[in-house]
Structure 1
Amino acid sequence: MMYWLTLTNKGYQTYIDSLSTIEKEKIILEKLTVDFVAPGEQQPETDHKILQEKSRTGNANQQFFREASSEGYFSYEMKTNAETELSLMVRYWGAEWGGRKFDIYIDDEKLLTEDNTGRWNQSKFQDIRYKIPSSMVQGKNHIRVKFQSIPGNTAGAVYFIRLVKRVDDSAIKD
C-alpha cells in the first residue's frame, strides 16, 4: 500500500515555505553554534569527556537522551573558543513525567536551578536558551557543563546541548 501527500496549490506553497523557513533557521543555528553535544551517543560523549554518576541514556521520540536521578549528575567539557557572549541551549521533551528539578553548573559554579516538572505538557521538543554570564567563561577555552539532579528528582532528559553565540533574537528569525 502506498500513500501520497495531497495538497491544494495554496497548501503546497505553505508547506514548501515552512520547510524553507525551518532549513534557514537550522543554518543560522549552525553558524551560531560554538560547540555541540549529542547526549546518549557514545562518540560525542567521549569527545566531550563525559563524567557521570547515577545517569542513564535512552532513546525516545527518535532521539537519544541522557538523564540522572537519585542526586546523580552528568557533565561535559565544551569548547568556548574564547567567546564570552555565550548562551547554553538545551533540548528537552515537553511532556516528561515525574519530578524534573535540577541544577545546571558551569565549572562547578551554579548557573541556575531548572524545574521542568509539568512545565509544558506538550508532546514536542522544547529548546531553551540560558544566558551564561561573561564572568563564567572569561579567559577560558573550555568549560564543564553539569546537570545535577535535586533529591527526589531527575536531571533531564537532555536531548542536545549547544553553546551558542548570543545574538538578538531578531537575527535568528531573519
Structure 2
Amino acid sequence: MSLATQKIVPCLWFDDQGEDAANLYVSIFPNSRIGEISRYGKEGFEIHGREAGTVMTVEFFLDGQRFVALNGGPLFTFSEAISFQILCDDQEEIDHYWEKLTDGGEEGPCGWLKDRFGLSWQVVPRVLPEMLTSKDHAASQRVTKAFLQMKKFDIEALKRAYDGEVAGAK
C-alpha cells in the first residue's frame, strides 16, 4: 500500500523498545519490512530526555499496512482496550501467529494474547465472523459457547460446534 493511499497510520507508543518490537513484528508477518528510522537529536533534550542518536520512531509495514513505533518514554502503556486482529485462513496460520506472539508474552481468552511488549492481538479464524452472523441462531450460539471456553482458537472445534456436534474447548 503506498503512503499516499493509507490515510490512517497506527502509531504505537513504546518506552524505548520500538525498534525491537518493529523487528519482531516484521519477522512474523509476510510481506513486511522496516521503513524509515528517525533519531533524537540534541534539540529538545530538556523535553524528551533522550540521548542524541537514540531511536525516536520506526516506520514499519506488516503485510503492507504501515505502522509507526514511537519511543516516547514510560508515560503511556498499552491496554486491552486496543488490539489488532489477525484473520487467519487455517489452523496452521493461527498456530504460527499464536506461537510467535505469545513467546515472552501471555495467552488470554477468546483468541486474545499480549506479546512481550504488552500489545494485545486477537488471532481469529476468518470463518468465525461468518459463523457468528449466521442466520442459524442456534448454530451461532453453539459457536459462541465453544469459543468462550478457548484461549487459542481451534477451527475444527468451532466447526463441530457450528454443525451441532459436541465441541471440546482448548
Coarse TM-score class (shorter-chain normalised): under 0.3
Q: Which has the higher helix share?
A: 2
Task: Indicate the structure whose relative CO is greater, using CA pairs within 8 Å and at least 6 residues apart.
Answer: 1
TM value normalised by structure 2:
0.25
TM value normalised by structure 1:
0.24
Q: Which has the higher strand share?
A: 1
